[in-house]
Amino acid sequence: MENTVQNKLNAIKEGAIRDFNKAQDSTELYNFKVQYLGKSGALTEAMKLMANLPKEEKPLFGKLVNEVKAELETLYSEVENKIKNQEINAQMSHQKLDLSFSVASPAKGNEHPIFRVTNEIVSIMSRLGYSLRTGPLIEKDYYNFEALNIPPNHPARDMQDTFFVDDTHVLRTHTSPIQIHSLENEKPPLRIIGTGSVFRCDSDISHLPNFHQIEGMCVDEKVSMADLKGTISFFVKEFFGPQLQTRFRPSFFPFTEPSAEVDCSCPICKGKGTNCSLCKQTGWIEIGGCGLINPKVFEFAKVEYPKWQGFAFGFGIERMAIIKYGVDDIRHFPKNDVRFLNQF
């Protein structure tokens, strides 16, 4: 093989050995590596000389280049290890670590109690085949009232003090409009649960202008008050505990007929009522309303009645949280004071 080619290869090798060994730190060493072994480094350049060699010498030259490359790569990792160790030792000698120094552990976040209760309710109902729906917070008057059989100027509107956005839109006053969206867009049989924020122009120790509700609706071919009672009683026992009783009181809602209010026995005084401020000494606490879906609602949503029938219910989530956790004032929930939230 031509001496010049071989000499050139040797020169590269020796240069690299010398430079690798004299590198002062890992950056300098890396720069040398690029210079000799990089994509456009000296060794790659040397490969180009192969083009001028006679055919029979080409394999030998290729082999030589590869040997040099392997040798230099081994040397590089040895030197690199040595330099890195030196660097770590140098760093440790002037940076002292005090392993006994105690650091406050980072504050842990957790779910807001309202979300926790919501998720728990959704999970109980999903075991009965109910699946989750949502709806807009700003509703057309039609969905919030009219299609739920609450006509304009009807006294039933007074039950819900409303925030009006404009002449035809309101901040939804309850989650019941989710029923109408589902009836309009889906085909029965239906088992849905709707949750979210609702708004009413109301604020005192037991009312918030923005609170949360959970809505349930079941539509099928034969649905009775017995199905409704069975479902709600199951739900209450799952949520509050098996010792709790449920009671249904006749009531009125324009979108259900017959309608009922649901009470559960007070978990604090166990239904006895003696000196209990939570249930105001009655032994019972109201959690929401329910009933069989009024045929008028089916008519608005264009669902064939009596082929399809149904029941619905709506509960206040803050109220359920108050009962479950024994909270004394509903206004704690939106304050987000961590001293309160940390208790859950």
Q: Report the nearest approach of ligand DAH to the CB of residue 130 (Å).
A: 13
Closer by beta carbon to ligand DAH, 245 or else 251 = 251
State in angstroms the smallest separation of the CB of 290 from ligand DAH: 5
37 versus 293: smaller Cβ distance to ligand DAH: 293
Phi/psi region, residue 302 (left: phi>0; alpha: psi -120 to 50; beta: rest), is left
**Calpha distance 179→293 (Å, rounded):** 10
Which amino acid is present at 76? Y
Peptide bond into 258 cis (omega under 30): yes
Q: Which residues bind ligand DAH (CB under 6 A)?
A: 174, 176, 215, 253, 256, 288-291, 312-314
Q: In 3D, which of 314, 318, 317 has the Cα closest to residue 261?
A: 314
- Tell which residue, 264, 294, 261, 297, has the closest CA to residue 279: 264
Residue 225 or 276 having the CB closest to ligand DAH: 225
- As measured in angstroms, the least distance from the Cβ of 259 to ligand DAH is 6
Residues in a beta bridge with 250:
260
Cβ 173 to ligand DAH, closest distance in Å? 7
Give the nearer residue to ligand DAH in terms of CB position, either 271 or 289: 289
Shortest CB 265 distance to ligand DAH, Å: 20
Q: Which CB atom, from 72 or from 312, has the smaller least distance to ligand DAH? A: 312
CA distance 320 to 114: 9
At closest approach, how far in Å is the CB of 312 from ligand DAH? 4
The span from the CA of 215 to the CA of 121, in Å, is: 10
Name 162's Cβ contacts closer than 8 Å, sequence gap at least 6: 144, 170, 171, 173, 200, 201
- The nearer residue to ligand DAH, 9 or 148, going by C-beta atoms, is 148
